[in-house]
Amino acid sequence: METVWFAIVAAMLAIYIVLDGFDFGVGILHRFVARTNQERRVVLAAIGPVWDGNEVWLIAAGGVLFMAFPKVYATAFSGFYLALMIVLWLLILRGVAIEFRGHFDNPLWREFWDTVFSVASGLLAIVFGAALGNLVRGVPLDETGLPGMALFTNFWPGQYPGLFDWYTLLVGLFACIALAGHGAIYLDWRTTGPVQERSHQAARRIWLGMVPLWVLVTVATVAVQPEIFTHLLSRWWSMLFILLTCGSFAAVFYFHNQNRPLAAFLSSSLYLLGLSATTLIGHFPHWLRSTINPEFSLTASNSISAQYGVQVALAWWAFGMLLTCGYFVYLFYSMRDKVDSDNLHGH
């Protein structure tokens, strides 16, 4: 049962990264690819109907983690106190920026909220990337739990690292660039005119920049947490995920050159899905890895809820996901056409 629920939470997080990833990327690029108010409204209309639903994957994944692995939820959230509060404030600012910008017809008002939206999206991508880096690297869990973690210590992964060190910052930077690339391809698919041209060009540059950065992050991960790779190599089926990730990375370039933005977007989604899944498979069975003593680590098996609760939950979860997939397919299907820049309605 613990494996099933680990996989469920991991899958929900991976879907979150793919879905909210593109609207984070759109946020990061917003001020660069769209210059006039009309262009910015087009960009926001491209994510308007979906961003809120995308964000719910984070909330729902958090809720499921709470239900299935309460000890992990309690330990990680209190240990990462300050970082999570920063995440909350950024999420609040990012969410209201989208809603607020259109309410006053004043260029300074709009410029302010556009900037808030961009900066919050970029910082969130970095912090979420760094959070993933913390899981991979490990945290100073002792027999009492996770003492409130410092934001930084000596910027070096060791027994008592802070939330930010060179490794987690590198992962954060990689996340920020990767999501920007994902967002650029999304805009290439969903928009027309100058916004599309700029997004198309930005996508090319960003994805080329990703090649050395991805190699660097992979090498750094081998150095910081070699166990991830020994885990991956010990399970034959994890090769499928590695192949999927590498294949879809190449497919992004192929379809982008062919000017097939929808195919490129699906490839970039598969790439992020594959990369997140591969990382979490390598991470399994750990939730929180102790840098002090492996005995203190929280794993799927030592933190799973009792049998009856997670069995009942499996039934409602499956039913709920069926409904949810229906909503998302319908929502994305009903907005499959490009954003019509002459007819921006909504509010």
Q: Binding to another protein (CB under 8 A): which residues in 45-84? A: 45, 48-50, 52-53, 55-56, 59-64, 66-68, 70-71, 73-82, 84
In the list 3, 88, 222, 235, the residue contacting another protein (rule: CB under 8 A) is 88
Token pair in block for residue 153: 């210590």
Question: Taking Cα atoms as reference points, which of 46, 22, 44 lies closest to residue 31?
Answer: 44
| Strand locations in the chain (E) | 286-288, 298-299
Q: Closer to another protein at the Cβ: 66 or 152?
A: 66
Piece of 166-174, 193-201, 205-213, 319-327 that binds another protein (CB under 8 A): 319-327
Q: What single-letter DSSP state applies at residue 260? A: -
Q: Closer to another protein at the Cβ: 37 or 244?
A: 37
For residue 338, state whether it binds another protein (rule: CB under 8 A). Answer: no
From the CB of 55, what's the least distance to another protein, in Å?
7
Site string for another protein, 126-165 (x = CB under 8 A): ------------------xxxxx-----------------
Token pair in block for residue 64: 């499921």
At what angle are helices 193-224 and 107-137 packed, to 10 degrees?
20
Piece of 183-191, 193-201, 237-245, 308-316 that binds another protein (CB under 8 A): 308-316
CA distance 120 to 18: 18
CA distance 127 to 136: 14
Q: Which residue is listed with tokens 């970095």?
A: 126
Q: Which of residues 170-209 bind another protein (CB under 8 A)?
A: none
In the list 36, 85, 257, 294, the residue contacting another protein (rule: CB under 8 A) is 85
User: Which residues are CB-neighbours of 61 under 8 A, at least 6 positions away?
Assistant: 9, 12, 13, 16
Q: Which of residues 288-307 bind another protein (CB under 8 A)?
A: 305-306
- Residue count at the site for another protein (CB under 8 A)? 71
Q: Closer to another protein at the Cβ: 213 or 335?
A: 335
CA distance 230 to 217: 17
From the CB of 4, what's the least distance to another protein, in Å?
15
Q: Closer to another protein at the Cβ: 193 or 326?
A: 326
From the CB of 37, what's the least distance to another protein, in Å?
12
From the CB of 343, what's the least distance to another protein, in Å?
9
Piece of 18-26, 29-37, 250-258, 312-320 that binds another protein (CB under 8 A): 312-320
- Return the bridge partners of 290, or none: 139
In the list 95, 194, 209, 285, the residue contacting another protein (rule: CB under 8 A) is 95
The torsion angles phi and psi of 91, rounded to 5 degrees, stand at -65, -40
From the CB of 298, what's the least distance to another protein, in Å?
11
Question: Could you tell me if 138 and 294 are in contact, meaning their C-beta atoms sit under 8 angstroms apart?
Answer: no
Question: Could you tell me if 62 and 221 are in contact, meaning their C-beta atoms sit under 8 angstroms apart?
Answer: no
Q: Which residue is listed with tokens 């629920």?
A: 5
CA distance 315 to 322: 11
